[in-house]
Structure 1
């Protein structure tokens, strides 16, 4: 006997509920035949919520019993919530892994080899560009998170607004193959200040802070990953002089 479920979700010219679509997809993947009941206006939606004494849609009913919204449906099937609370390294890992994959692809395309040094050079440059873009998406949010631990930004707040542009410049300059004197001083300066700031805040003052490395309002904890970003810049500066 086929399993059936009834789903009420908002579907209008002004709003297509994403959680309604996700609920329908999840039910189908779990082998249910879905009796889809679109709520096509605000008035129809409000009337439904009053009738069933609920505050949100979508709402799923299985065997005549209300399961609830998308999160409740996932719980019904024994699945974890998609909501990510607390600290996470996922944004940084996504950037690092993507930058590494791109650097491997570019080196292979240009030289037909996977020489370690070129891959690492492109990896550092692409990572810095990607991290800078994240910061530039919302300079105000980045500055609010950055100035509470960066030693220079604490004293000169405008430095927080300059930092992402400087980081982007270093990454682009490395990709362009500019000479060391045009890149290394900036990379060494911002990387050095950043490394000292993170080390002091985390390992000396023992402060529990969120890192602005992937932009403002992130849940990435300040610590080893943040230190790595700055060490990348320091090593890049030194390497360009040595090379």
Structure 2
């Protein structure tokens, strides 16, 4: 993996000490035809307030790297190396331990929000749930926070749309709601896994602006994963290029 500094991007205030450090990350998937070595020795550093773009062709291991950081890969996956969040090792932690971090210290914006949201619960309930779990907020407080977040990411009439189900939102609105959920607890790191891939060019630009808003409001460092170098160039401070894992 090679890393490039993007001089054209607006660089926020960053600290020199990494909030997220990945060292010699390897991910292997067992299959009937043998082991697939999907990620091969990836090294990454992400500083506070920084936007790191990870770019590469389909199948290069970008999304697998992000999922490995959050411990969201299948139990049969073999993950080795080191993933440190603010100096604390994450690899080897149980799912229960990682659940305390997901949505709190580290949040993720998934590529397909329709499948990431639970279809039988409203958008507002799903955003409010993460606030209640991690902040101990009351039901009323969590709902108010959900409405505030939906308004912040540009959802019209948030007090009404908070009770809508995922299928009642357009693709761009679902992605905005997913970003709102990621912002809910002011995380240290937001991982955005190809959040603009399924959207048209105009909506892509809007989602990138929403991600900038999310970063500004939460102070989080952002990892932006994409196969589109043009999209990455417009948002990232540094760019990591992946090829064949």
Please tell me the TM-score bracket, short chain as reference.
under 0.3
Structure having greater relative contact order (Cα 8 Å, sep ≥ 6) = 2
Q: Which structure has the larger Rg over C-alpha atoms?
A: 1
Higher helix share: 1
Normalised TM-score (structure 2): 0.23
Higher strand share: 2
Normalised TM-score (structure 1): 0.23
